[in-house]
Amino acid sequence: MPPSPPPEPTLDALKPMKVEGLPPAAYYIPNFITEEEEELLLRKIADSPQPKWRTTATGRRLQYWGGTLTKSGVLVPEPLPEWLTAYPDIAARVDRLLDAAAGVEGRHVLGVNQVLVNEYAPGQGISPHEDGPAFRPLVATLSLGSSSVLDLHHYISPSAPSPPMIPADGAVGRAIAAVPLGHVLLLPRSLFVLSGSAYSAHLHGIAPRSADWVVRDEAAAAAAVEGEGEAPPVVVANAGLLADAPVQAAIASDAGWRAERGTRVSLTFRHAEKSLKGGAFAMVGGRMQRS
């Protein structure tokens, strides 16, 4: 049996890419893939057979690669496709990056066994949620095609003096602060890593907007005047990590950086803790063996 990974890896080598001002720990890695790789991945995802696509109640489309979870949170595994494992070998690259960052080469701190693809048309988002305990508390999300802003939210006690809150789906007695704790600008080809309490005690979501407006600080946000129907500006915690001089210069300017959202596709690399040995065949044969 392979040794089990440490529960909370310290991603020391990623420290320069740590997003400060958010709960520990989130990391932003710009330009994780090339433009050619981005194009290829977008094409492979778009060309996936129709049955691979699912549609959420809000109309967002998604795909699962590597298998799906049973109701009790066990992965019924399927092989990942070659366009994630061979060329480009993104899944292995994510594992190598995180292993090297944790100083445990070859002993997977993540061990990608499922990749969730989300496709957001402009105006679509994803409500604040946790990925939950079925997955290892370390996930990495690759952004393709368009930028977006991801928000980190926290739970609030129902007995706290009434700040604006969002009732949580299915989480009885848990309310979510409507005002996010922080924002992260996700540029195309970047990798965003969530671990520790940022993963397991907080929620992440994307506001359903068709454009983003990022300003340099809270004073600029307070002074900003929104146009008719325009979303309010946000301050992002990773402005110094974007490795994109024009975007950073625009954020630092008095007007801030505004961008229409195009269609964005994200790939979330994660590890389901329980996996059915033998995959779908074991289900058909009625043998529920878990690893």
Ligand X SMILES: O=C(O)CCC(=O)C(=O)O
Catalog residues that contact ligand X under the rule CB under 6 A. 116, 118, 126, 131, 141, 150, 204, 266, 268
> Closest distance between ligand X and the C-beta of residue 277, in Å?
26
CB 118 within 8 A of CB 95: no
> Closest distance between ligand X and the C-beta of residue 71, in Å?
18
3-state SS, one letter per residue, for 223-262: HCCCCCCCCCCECCCCHHHCCCHHHHHHHHCCCCEEEECC
> Closest distance between ligand X and the C-beta of residue 204, in Å?
5
142: left (phi over 0), alpha (psi -120 to 50) or beta: beta
> Closest distance between ligand X and the C-beta of residue 31, in Å?
17
Identify which of residues 153 and 216 has a Cβ nearer to ligand X in the complex. Answer: 153
Identify which of residues 86 and 178 has a Cβ nearer to ligand X in the complex. Answer: 178
Point out the residue whose Cβ comes nearest to ligand X: 266
Rounded Cα–Cα distance for residues 191 and 144 (Å) = 10
Identify which of residues 138 and 220 has a Cβ nearer to ligand X in the complex. Answer: 138
Q: Which two tokens stand for residue 62?
A: 């998604």
Name residues whose C-beta falls within 8 Å of residue 284's C-beta, 6 or more positions apart in sequence.
Answer: none
Rounded Cα–Cα distance for residues 104 and 231 (Å) = 43
Identify which of residues 113 and 118 has a Cβ nearer to ligand X in the complex. Answer: 118
Identify which of residues 195 and 266 has a Cβ nearer to ligand X in the complex. Answer: 266
Rounded Cα–Cα distance for residues 281 and 209 (Å) = 42
- Residue 278 CB burial class (10 angstroms; 0-12, 13-18, ≥19): middle
> Closest distance between ligand X and the C-beta of residue 198, in Å?
12
